[in-house]
Structure 1
Amino acid sequence: MIGMKKSSALLEYSVITLGSAMMAFALHFFLEPNTIAPGGVTGLAVVIQKLMGIPMDITNLAINVPLFIAGIMILGKAFGAKTAYATIMLSLFLRLFIIFFGADYTITSDILLAAIYGGVTLGVGIGLVFKMGGTTGGTDLAGAMLNHYIPTLSIAKLMMILDLMIVAFAGMVEKKMETALYSVIALYIVVKLADFIVEDLSYSKAFYIISQKSDIIGKRIIDELDRGVTSINSKGMYTGEEKEMLLCVVSRAQVIKLKKLVYEEDPYAFMMVATIHEVLGEGFKEVDSL
């Protein structure tokens, strides 16, 4: 059991390291050289470096210290440890990129490409850190603290609210509306990708099936797809007819097979298909793996 916990912790911190490296890469090679500030402390750091020449890694650490202390008080020591590690790693990677590539190195000077590729790389990096239960400080830490009190809004969406205010401020400081608009594009991509990574890449599909041959269809799903099926009593409000509705969750690879199976038995079956971002339990993700 102890060995499993150590292995799990090693994996979590390895993923956080990768996420932090991706964030630093996006900031150094795409966003900062083109003065794109996608919100957060990193966005402020971009503006501060342009205005005052203070390196981003120093600004990142300086602003995050009080946020980090507040995070430990509200979210607990375990969350604080991962956040401290991610924040330090982000600053470390930023410093390493400056040392090896120089402060003004950029992959592209096309501001739209920089906003898109920088947003994608930054969003995936933030999502990986979130997935492992940490943050890199700044508005993602502030968002995590707010999520503790407002659980109906995801961390990424709370980040977006805070970041939009910072982007607006950055636009005023730069006195270039164009820069602020490109920053909003990058911010939107970051939030969407971070949410996508956190919600899980391995989404499944839920099928709601209403048919006159529900017993046969249910048995074939169990036998041929090796998936569980739940029968729900339902009643049509227009006809008043009572029928069985089948509920079944399958992987993406089984979607076509299930559709074909149902229509082989009943071409007039009524089906509803919904995307499920996370499924816990037998046949899918085990609860012990969380």
Structure 2
Amino acid sequence: MNLKENATKNWKDYLMVGVGSIITAGSINIFLVPYKIAPGGVSGIATVLYYVSNGKLPVGTTMLALNIPLFLLGMRFIGKKFVLKTLFGTVLLSVIIDLTEPFTNTFVKNFLGESGSLINSQDILLYALFGGFLMGVGLGFVFRSGATTGGTDLAARIVTHFFPVLTMGETLLLIDTSVIILAAVAFKSFQLGLYAIVTLFISSKVIDAILEGVNFAKAVFIISDLSDQIAAKILIDLDRGVTALDGTGMYTGNKKKVLLCILNRGQMPMLKNIVKDVDRNAFIILADIREVLGEGFKTYE
């Protein structure tokens, strides 16, 4: 990658961090903090402190203050490569949360109902769902750019540095669960803890979808004595490539060709009909594929 391409990529990465931070701030200010939904992480701790202090500790400022020691430890024990983009994302998110709070508070009061008013469980569930979705979209953009917004992912890296027996996933789950329990105790509401779990689950799934792709495809393995005929019809009728793998039936010891083909979901009925017409005794094994890069599918970025 030449200097110009590298500069363009960095510019796009920082732009994506900015957009992701704005979306994440919106989810926190509009759907989560007003209704005491604290889905783990630094934002969850900041939400608890905001209410415990009767609003004297702004959420954004508190998040930034909590992240400072994490950054110092991260630079010392993990390395400095991640620092610039992550620092940018962390500071930007904290600033946007505090700057937009007056506007989002007005929006919440006028359109969603005051946080102190009586709101039924269905309403809060909707806020938990939409808050989790928007947070997942925002953080997905940030993570895809190679940055983070600090918080539990940074804390998890530090913990696994000292305790390598723990995986990143286990550490993140432990930290987020602890924060949710803290919020449930502070707000004296088991129900709010459950809503926070819903938000955390939705956001994690959306993040995965953004990072790994949503263009699902199917990987098909076909085991048949008539594999050549099946492959020929797939090549012609479906216009899809087929790869033959060498296989051995362990019961009979016979050599067989195992066909591997990647298809769009809409082509599955046609493939099943092709195999059925050629060999009703064939085995078909289907597997979900998250993302496919190459000819006929998604192009390389």
Q: 1:196 aligns with which of 192, 209, 232?
A: 209
Alpha carbons 2:61, 2:95 under 8 Å: kept: no
Aligned residues: 287
Question: Which residue number corresponds to residue 116 of structure 2?
Answer: none
Give the distance between the partners of 1:280 and 1:154, measured in 2 at CA.
27
Q: CA deviation at 1:30?
A: 0.8
CA contact (8 A) 1:61 1:87 kept: yes
Task: Please state whether the residue corresponding to 2:108 is helix, strand or coil.
Answer: coil
Q: Distance in 1 between matches of 2:27 and 2:63?
A: 15
State the structure with more CA Rg: 2
Equivalence for 2:87: 84
Q: CA deviation at 1:58?
A: 0.3
Identity in percent: 39
Task: Tell me the alpha carbon deviations over residues 21-65 of structure 1, each in whole angstroms, 9 at most, x when there is no partner.
Answer: 221111101110110110000001111111112000100110111
The offset of 1:136, in angstroms, is: 0.8
Residue of structure 1 aligned with 2:186, choices 167, 170, 173: 173
Greater CA deviation, 210-219 or 249-258? 249-258
What RMSD over aligned residues (CA atoms) do the two structures have, in Å? 2.9
Match of 2:141 among 110, 113, 128: 128
Partner residue in 2 for 1:209: 222
Q: 1:252 to 1:235 in 2, by over 3 A?
A: same
What amino acid is aligned across from residue 195 of structure 2 in structure 1? Y
Does 2:74 correspond to 1:71?
yes
Cross-structure match for 2:60: 57
User: Partner letter of residue 230 of structure 2?
Assistant: I
Q: Which residue of 1 aligns with 2:271?
A: 258
Shifted more, 191-200 versus 56-65: the winner is 191-200
Residues 250, 4 of structure 1: alpha-carbon distance in 2 compared, 3 angstrom cutoff: farther
Task: Tell me the SS of whatever aligns to 1:77.
Answer: coil
The structure-2 alpha-carbon separation of the partners of 1:153 and 1:33, relative to structure 1 and needing over 3 Å to count, comes to same
2:112 is equivalent to residue 111 of structure 1: no
Note the C-alpha offset of 1:104.
Answer: 8.6
Aligned counterparts, 1:131-142, within 5 A: 131-142=144-155
2 CA distance for matches of 1:282 and 1:175? Answer: 55
- Tell me which amino acid in the other structure corresponds to 1:118: G
Under a length normalisation based on structure 2, what TM-score does the superposition of the two structures give? 0.82
- Provide, for residues 97-142 of structure 1, a one-character-per-residue CA deviation record: whole Å limited to 9, x for no partner: 2133337935354221111111111122222222222111111222
Range with bigger deviation, 236-245 or 26-35? 236-245
- Asked if the contact 1:82/1:134 (under 8 Å) is kept, the reply is yes
1:182 pairs with one of 164, 171, 195: 195
- 2:231, 2:285 → 1: CA distance? 15
Alpha-carbon distance between aligned partners in 1 of 2:201 and 2:223, rounded to the nearest angstrom: 39
Please say if residues 68 and 83 of structure 1, whose CA atoms lie closer than 8 Å, have aligned partners that are also in contact.
Answer: no
Query: Post-superposition shift, 1:181?
Result: 1.9
Measured in 1, the distance between the counterparts of 2:165 and 2:243 equals 30
Confirm or deny: 8 A CA contact 1:209 1:246 kept in the other structure.
yes
8 A contact 1:213–1:265 mirrored in 2:
yes
Tell me how far 1:144 sits from its aligned partner: 4.8
What is the 5 A alignment of 1:153-164?
153=167, 158-164=171-177
* Equivalent residue, structure 2, for 1:219: 232
Residue 258 of structure 2 aligns to a residue in which SS?
A: strand
* Structure 1 contact 67–142 (Cα < 8 Å) conserved: yes
For residues 10 and 227 of structure 2, what CA distance do their matches in structure 1 show? 45
Alignment partners' CA distance in 2, 1:227 and 1:202: 17
Show structure 2 runs of 5+ residues with no match: 114-118
Alpha-carbon distance in 2 for matches of 1:135, 1:147: 17
